[in-house]
């Protein structure tokens, strides 16, 4: 899987690159408009992470170029601009998702995987790990051909962990994922803890072959047994 990261802030570019390499993606980077354009023209990528404000151009223009060339690369806009107008414009121009900075690495992983699934698995939207299979279209979970019932939040948490398998997901990232933006007093760890506890119990009961492990009390990690 080849991913292009277009970001003008070197430090930001570096952390994204490091994190994506941990996921065994092939990562290429571009720090400005012109080099990004050259790479887009020359190669095909499975997913492009696109910052909107670049020193020598605008991310929207890159998006337009991409669509002109009829390329099917998945595009996730990553921007500090949190305006509805920009979001709508980006999505109308053909971006697959819009992520506002600052984001958690786990969130970025989940979004990239979701875009890749849609691109690669053409409609069939499933995740498999251990004995478990998740159908994201029907929102159903099957373990060894047997249905496992999860409530809405538990289902979301499980898919989030599956996108971040083997990685540390800190509690804040999980809280933000569950509550979304603008939720003041969002960090209700107790609630998250209870959701995780229920999910763990169900995973164990159904012999799913995966486990959510607590890491030093700061977060969790999904491991395949």
Partner 1 sequence: MKLLNHTLLYLSVSLLAVLGLWALIFYFNMLEEVKDSIDDGLANYKMLIIYKAQKDTSMLSSAAFGAENYTIREIAPSYAIQVRDSYKDSLLYSERLNSYEPVRLLTTAFAAEDGRFYELKIISAAVNKAELIRKLLLSLTVLYMLMLASIIAINNFVLKRIWRPFYYLLNQLKKFRLANATLFRPATTTVTEFRELNDTLLSLLGRNLDTFISQKQFIENASHELQTPVAISINKLELLAERNTLSEEDVQTVAAVIQTLESLKRMNRSLLLLSKIENQQFAAEEKVNLNEVIKKMVSDFSDLSEFKEVQLLLLEDGQFDHVMNKDLAEMLVMNLLKNAIVHNRPNGTVTISISHSSFTIENTGEAAPLDPVKMFDRFYKKTADRTSTGLGLAIVKAITHFYGFSIEYHFSGNHVFRVGVTGQGS
Between CA 20 and CA 34 the distance in angstroms is 23
Residue 183: strand, helix, or coil: coil
Instruction: Collect all residues with Cβ–Cβ distance below 8 Å to 106 and sequence separation of at least 6.
Output: 160, 163, 164, 167, 169, 170, 173, 174, 177
Work out which of 170, 177, 206, 211 binds partner 1, going by CB under 8 A.
170
- Please, what is the minimum distance in Å from the beta carbon of residue 70 to partner 1? 31
Number of residues that bind partner 1 (CB under 8 A): 49
Strands 26-30 and 2-6: parallel
**129 or 178, CB closer to partner 1?**
178
- Please, what is the minimum distance in Å from the beta carbon of residue 144 to partner 1? 27
**Binding flag, residue 214, partner 1 (CB under 8 A):** no
Residue 101: strand, helix, or coil: coil
- Please, what is the minimum distance in Å from the beta carbon of residue 87 to partner 1? 11
- Please, what is the minimum distance in Å from the beta carbon of residue 186 to partner 1? 7
C-alpha dihedral (99, 10, 36, 6), degrees to nearest 10: -10
**Binding flag, residue 89, partner 1 (CB under 8 A):** no
Place of tokens 């251990």: 130
Binding residues vs partner 1 (CB under 8 A)? 9, 11-12, 15-16, 18-19, 22, 53, 79-84, 100-106, 151-153, 167-168, 170-173, 176, 181-188, 190-191, 194-195, 215-219
């Amino acid at each position: 899987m080849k991913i292009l990261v277009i970001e003008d802030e070197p430090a930001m570019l570096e952390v994204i690159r490091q994190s994506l390499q941990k996921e065994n993606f092939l990562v290429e980077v571009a720090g400005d408009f012109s080099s990004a354009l050259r790479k887009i023209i020359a190669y095909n990528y499975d997913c492009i992470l696109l910052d909107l404000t670049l020193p020598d151009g605008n991310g929207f223009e890159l998006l337009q170029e991409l669509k002109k060339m009829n390329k099917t690369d998945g595009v996730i806009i990553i921007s500090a601009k949190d305006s509805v107008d920009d979001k709508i414009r980006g999505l109308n121009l053909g971006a697959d998702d819009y992520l506002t900075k600052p984001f958690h690495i786990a969130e970025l992983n989940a979004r990239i995987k979701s875009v890749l699934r849609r691109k690669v698995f053409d409609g069939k939207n499933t995740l498999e790990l251990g004995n478990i299979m998740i159908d994201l279209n029907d929102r159903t979970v099957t373990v060894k051909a047997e249905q496992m019932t999860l409530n809405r939040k538990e289902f979301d948490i499980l898919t989030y962990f599956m996108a971040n398998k083997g990685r540390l997901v800190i509690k804040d990232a999980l809280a933000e994922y569950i509550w979304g933006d603008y939720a003041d007093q969002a960090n209700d760890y107790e609630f998250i803890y209870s959701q995780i506890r229920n999910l763990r119990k169900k995973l164990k009961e159904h012999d799913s072959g995966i486990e959510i492990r607590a890491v030093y009390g700061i977060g969790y990690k999904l491991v395949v047994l």
